[in-house]
Amino acid sequence: MATFKVRLEGALDWDVIEQPERSGWVGICDSLAITVEGRTWQEFTEAANEAVLYTVRTHLIEGTLGDFVRQHGWIASALPPADMDPEEVELDVPFDLRRGGASGREANPH
């Protein structure tokens, strides 16, 4: 099976805080209107990555990926042909994590 790789470049930031009373981490990605939780930092970063990829893949399946990318002011390395099976598309969507809100940045978890 041939794979078509799509890398998206653009502002995709998460504000992340540790919530000891809830025993874990909570992150908000305003640009995608996503909130994710995880008991550990690793669990949180994996959940954030899955949420972003799910959102982007949904637009790919619905045929709205190009519009979605443009609406967010992002750049796609390439967009797959409309008739391509979405399972043959590999998505790479880097993002930044800011622990404690606007303080320090973490690298993309994938």
Residue 107 has pLDDT above 50, yes or no: no
Angle at 52 between CA 55 and CA 83, to 5 degrees: 45
Over residues 45-56, the pLDDT tens digits come to: 999 999 999 999
Look-up of token digits 């993002």: 95
Q: Determine the CATH number of domain 4-106.
A: 3.30.160
Rounded percentage of the chain residues whose pLDDT exceeds 70: 89
- Give pLDDT, residue 82: 84
- Give pLDDT, residue 102: 46
Q: Are 44 and 24 in contact (CB under 8 A)?
A: yes
- Give pLDDT, residue 16: 95
Over residues 86-101, the pLDDT tens digits come to: 889 999 999 999 888 5
Look-up of token digits 């809830």: 22
Over residues 9-27, the pLDDT tens digits come to: 998 999 999 988 877 999 9
